[in-house]
């Protein structure tokens, strides 16, 4: 299934993509796309058995929201692609590099990216994100996949000056408002045959900078879920962004950073695309 949310920010309604690629409203079936729904086996079975042609058709929604609501934790894995680690001039990690994005950074896949005040090194990162489907604590790698509800596209927007030059904590440069576009939809894992073999790309103003694949991941999704569950209980609806391939602005020679008015387009095979415009702060 491809589940999504549409409408004004804070008032989104749940929807599903039918076999023709059209949006169908799920408001009569579920209140939202969130961890409570993902963890409810009966509800998920009901969604899978629906005759989607009986649901209201949504014609050209004004806005697509983040594909998952009420996210409790937004965890990220850094330097998780061998070719990106090489681009960054850093050794391959022996264990996953873990940091967080504040949940207030979450936005819709096509919402504007707000350049923070005093920002001058705004960067992009196309990433595969995992959405957790049931509570996971101390799970093994072999069983970790059963705790995954699905996957979505994430742009791990980053302010490199805030991240790397203003102390040792990355979170300052990762969690600003609008720095976590998710979606357009959450694709349930049964529709993703192999999350480690997905093409991914990102363009800025029509120029392609990232053109990679999840097959260069160092730590694969099941390993990441198992690893994180040793340190925190993962809850349904939690999001884990799993790292980026090479081609980020910081890695260009010389580095290239986003400016107001720049347009970013990105996507992952089978998971859809995003498009954002960089705007000035309020």
pLDDT tens, per residue, the chain with 282 residues: 999 999 999 999 999 999 999 999 999 999 999 999 999 999 999 999 999 999 999 998 999 999 999 999 999 999 899 887 777 777 888 999 999 999 999 999 999 999 999 999 999 999 999 999 999 999 999 999 999 999 999 999 999 999 988 877 788 999 999 999 999 999 999 999 999 999 999 999 999 999 999 999 999 999 999 999 999 999 999 999 999 999 999 999 999 999 999 999 999 999 999 999 999 987
Query: What global pTM score does this model have?
Result: 0.96
pLDDT of 85 reads: 76
pLDDT of 89 reads: 76
- Are 235 and 139 members of one domain? yes
- Are 207 and 262 members of one domain? yes
**Would you say 8 and 64 are in contact if contact means Cβ atoms under 8 Å apart?**
no
pLDDT of 91 reads: 82
Rounded to an integer, what is the distance from CA 179 to the centroid of its chain? 11
Q: Is residue 65 part of a domain?
A: no
DSSP letter for each residue of 68-120: SBS-S-EEEEES-BHHHHHHTT-PPPSS-EEEE--GGGEE-TTSPEEPPTT--
- Are 47 and 87 members of one domain? no
- Are 36 and 146 members of one domain? no
pLDDT of 87 reads: 77
Q: Is residue 197 part of a domain?
A: yes
Task: Report the distance separating Cα 216 and Cα 185, nearest Å.
Answer: 24
Q: Is residue 243 part of a domain?
A: yes
- Are 165 and 215 members of one domain? yes
- Are 212 and 188 members of one domain? yes
- Are 38 and 148 members of one domain? no
- Are 34 and 99 members of one domain? no
Residue that finishes a domain, picked among 58, 84, 105: 58
In degrees, rounded to 5, the angle at the alpha carbon of residue 157 between the alpha carbons of residues 23 and 83 is 105
- Are 28 and 167 members of one domain? no
46: containing domain: 2-58
Q: Assign residue 167 the CATH number of its domain.
A: 3.90.850.10
- Are 148 and 262 members of one domain? yes
Q: Is residue 23 part of a domain?
A: yes
- Are 39 and 80 members of one domain? no
Q: How many domains does the chain have?
A: 2
pLDDT of 234 reads: 98
Residue that finishes a domain, picked among 30, 58, 86: 58
């Amino acid at each position: 299934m491809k589940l999504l949310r549409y409408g004004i920010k804070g008032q989104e309604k749940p929807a599903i993509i039918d076999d023709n690629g059209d949006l169908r409203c799920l408001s009569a079936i579920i209140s939202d796309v969130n961890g409570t729904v993902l963890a409810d086996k009966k509800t998920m079975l009901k969604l899978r058995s629906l005759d989607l042609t009986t649901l209201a058709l949504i014609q050209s929604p004004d806005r697509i929201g983040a594909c998952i609501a009420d996210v409790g934790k937004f965890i990220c894995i850094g330097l998780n692609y061998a070719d990106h680690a090489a681009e960054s001039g850093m050794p391959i990690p022996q264990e996953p590099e873990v940091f967080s994005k504040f949940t207030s950074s979450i936005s819709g896949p096509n919402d504007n990216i707000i350049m923070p005040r005093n920002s001058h090194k705004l960067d992009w990162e196309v990433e595969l994100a995992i959405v957790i489907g049931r509570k996971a604590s101390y799970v093994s790698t072999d069983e970790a996949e059963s705790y995954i509800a699905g996957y979505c596209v994430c742009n791990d927007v980053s302010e490199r000056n805030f991240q790397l030059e203003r102390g040792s904590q990355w979170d300052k440069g990762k969690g600003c408002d609008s720095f976590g576009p998710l979606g357009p939809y959450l694709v349930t894992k049964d529709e993703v045959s192999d999350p480690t073999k997905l093409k991914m790309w990102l363009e800025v103003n029509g120029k392609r900078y990232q053109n990679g694949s999840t097959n260069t991941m160092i730590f694969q999704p099941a390993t990441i879920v198992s690893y994180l569950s040793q340190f925190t209980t993962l809850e349904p609806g939690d999001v884990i962004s799993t790292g980026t391939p090479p081609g980020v602005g910081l890695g260009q020679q010389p580095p290239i950073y986003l400016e107001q008015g720049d347009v970013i387009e990105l996507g992952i095979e089978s998971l859809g695309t995003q498009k954002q415009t960089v705007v000035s702060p309020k």
